Amino acid sequence: MKICDNVYQIRMDFWVTEQVKRYVYMYLITGRNCYLIDSGVAGSEKIIAEYMKKLGKSMKEIKAVFLTHAHPDHMGGAAEIKKISGCEIYASEKEKDWIENIELQFRERPIPNFYKLVSKPVRVDKTVKEGDVILPEGQVSIRILETPGHSHGHVSYIFEEENVLFSGDAIPDQKDFPIFTDEEKSEKSLEKMTVLDKIQYCCPAWDRVYDGKEWKELLWHSKKYLQKLKESVLKMDKDYGKVSLEEQIRILSEQMGWKERVGNPLFLKSVEACRH
């Protein structure tokens, strides 16, 4: 889907397990060359190639992939895309170890079918940090915004020519339980984004694109959403501190409307993060 001049959204559907279907959005920036924000899971190169063909472009034109973070649905396809195009991979120094060593990532964050979602590690060519401005060509400049919380080194990217913010998973999905490693940092990242006053489009990895009038409201609701979860966790600890952790999680899931997520280990990590 075309977002604005030179920016396109590409959807990739995938199965985490035979019962759990998910999706993720990647974004394509076109100029004299082409650039991707995130790479989807393994196999994404087929979907990207088909989409680019409709635009009269090819994978060979991809000169860089900008990874928001190291989770499988964001970096799983990067190795094959790099093999096809010869592109450079950009990512946070804090996420580099998981991107280049997927065995380490799996040990520290095991999820079902991990090695189907991430077939290979990929070398990070250039690391990025807060305030960096990448100038891959005259018509394209990309500014780095550190937005940790969902993961410890999550970054967002601003395509300055069109004032487009690519927020990855920094803004929690309010239709699902939020996944994060640090609730406080997640809130601070949302606060940091609220002061960006020129953004015309906010492009999350999990949701539709929000225009300049909508996205500040999205940030406000997202912050309230995180606060509600934290308050619920702390109240649960106070009211049900003597029952088992499994029972606490069941109660919390029912209160928040996530009954089907009771056994999800990522939800458990988010709950634990609310206690710190």
pLDDT in tens, 160-171: 999 999 999 999
Neighbours of 222 (CB within 10 A): 22
Contact indicator for 84, 58 with CB cutoff of 8 Å: no
Q: Give the burial string for 132-165 (b: 16+ CB within 10 Å, else e).
A: eebebeeebebbbbbbbbbbbbbbbbbbebbebb
pLDDT at 228: 86
Amino acid at 196: L
Question: How large is the greatest C-alpha to C-alpha distance in the chain, in angstroms?
Answer: 62
- pTM to 2 decimals? 0.94
Asked whether the CA dihedral 258, 227, 11, 81 is positive or negative, the reply is negative
255/4: higher pLDDT:
4
Other CB atoms within 10 Å distance of the CB of residue 120: 14
Q: Which of 166, 169, 267, 174 is nearest to 227 (CA)?
A: 174
**pLDDT greater at residue 129 or residue 241:** 129
Least confident among 56-65, 92-101, 177-186, 260-269: 260-269
Q: Is the pLDDT of residue 262 over 70?
A: no
Q: pLDDT tens digit string along 102-155?
A: 999 999 999 989 999 998 999 999 999 999 999 988 778 999 999 999 999 999
d(CA 122, CA 82): 8
What's the Rg (C-alpha) of the chain?
Answer: 19
Residue 205: predicted pLDDT: 96
